Amino acid sequence: MFRFANPEFLFLLLAIPALVFWYIRQQQNSRGTLRYSNLGIVKTVKKSPLKKYRHVLFVLRILVIILLIVSFARPQSGSTEEEILTEGIDIILAMDISSSMLAEDFKPKNRLEAAKAVAADFVKGRKNDRIGMVVFAAKSFTQCPLTLDYGILLRFMEEVKIGMIEDGTAIGMAIANCTNRLRDSKAKSKVVILLTDGRNNRGEIDPVTAAKLSKAFKIRIYTIGAGKRGDALYPVDDPIFGRRYVRMPVQIDEELLRNIAQITGGQYFRATDETSLEKIYREIGEMEKTKIEVKEYTRYKELFLNYLLVAFALLALEIVLSNTQFRKLP
Residue, of 116 and 53, whose pLDDT is higher: 116
Looking at residue 116, its pLDDT comes to 96
Residue, of 111 and 27, whose pLDDT is higher: 111
pTM: 0.64
Q: Does the pLDDT of residue 31 top 70, yes or no? A: no
Burial per residue of 297-322, b for 16 or more beta-carbon CB atoms within 10 angstroms, e otherwise? eeeeeebbeebeeebeebbeebeebe
- Say how far apart CA 131 and CA 229 lie, in whole Å: 31
Q: Return the CATH superfamily for domain 89-289.
A: von Willebrand factor, type A domain (3.40.50.410)
Average pLDDT over residues 193-201: 95
| Closest among 323, 274, 237, 284 to 129, alpha carbons compared | 284
For residue 293, what pLDDT band results from cuts at 50, 70 and 90? low
For residue 268, what pLDDT band results from cuts at 50, 70 and 90? very high
Looking at residue 234, its pLDDT comes to 87
Residue, of 295 and 240, whose pLDDT is higher: 240
Looking at residue 43, its pLDDT comes to 57
Looking at residue 291, its pLDDT comes to 62
- Say how far apart CA 77 and CA 84 lie, in whole Å: 23
Which of these ranges, 118-122, 230-234, 270-274, has the smallest mean pLDDT?
230-234
| Closest among 287, 113, 257, 111 to 194, alpha carbons compared | 257
Q: What is the side-by-side order of every strand in the sheet holding 89-96?
A: 140-147, 130-136, 89-96, 189-196, 219-226, 268-271
In what helix (H) or strand (E) does residue 295 lie, and over which residues does it extend? strand 291-302
| Closest among 150, 139, 147 to 177, alpha carbons compared | 139
Q: Within its chain, how far is the Cα of 209 from the centroid?
A: 40
Looking at residue 151, its pLDDT comes to 95
Q: Does the pLDDT of residue 294 top 80, yes or no? A: no
Looking at residue 30, its pLDDT comes to 65
Q: Are 185 and 214 in contact (CB under 8 A)?
A: no
Q: How far is CA 248 from CA 227, 236, 243, 269, 272, in A?
A: 11, 11, 16, 22, 15
Looking at residue 3, its pLDDT comes to 85
Residue, of 217 and 245, whose pLDDT is higher: 217
pLDDT per position as a tens digit, 199-210: 999 999 999 999
Average pLDDT over residues 298-306: 83
Taking all residues of the chain, what is their mean pLDDT, rounded to a whole number? 87
Torsion of CA 57, 59, 64, 69, to 10 degrees: 150
pLDDT per position as a tens digit, 45-74: 555 566 667 778 888 889 999 999 999 998
Looking at residue 317, its pLDDT comes to 87
| Closest among 166, 285, 262 to 214, alpha carbons compared | 262
Looking at residue 100, its pLDDT comes to 93
pLDDT per position as a tens digit, 252-262: 999 999 999 99
Residue, of 246 and 133, whose pLDDT is higher: 133
| Closest among 124, 117, 118, 131 to 178, alpha carbons compared | 131
Looking at residue 173, its pLDDT comes to 97
Looking at residue 221, its pLDDT comes to 97
Looking at residue 295, its pLDDT comes to 63
Looking at residue 33, its pLDDT comes to 59
Looking at residue 134, its pLDDT comes to 97
As a whole-number percent, the residues of the chain with pLDDT over 90 amount to 54
Looking at residue 259, its pLDDT comes to 97
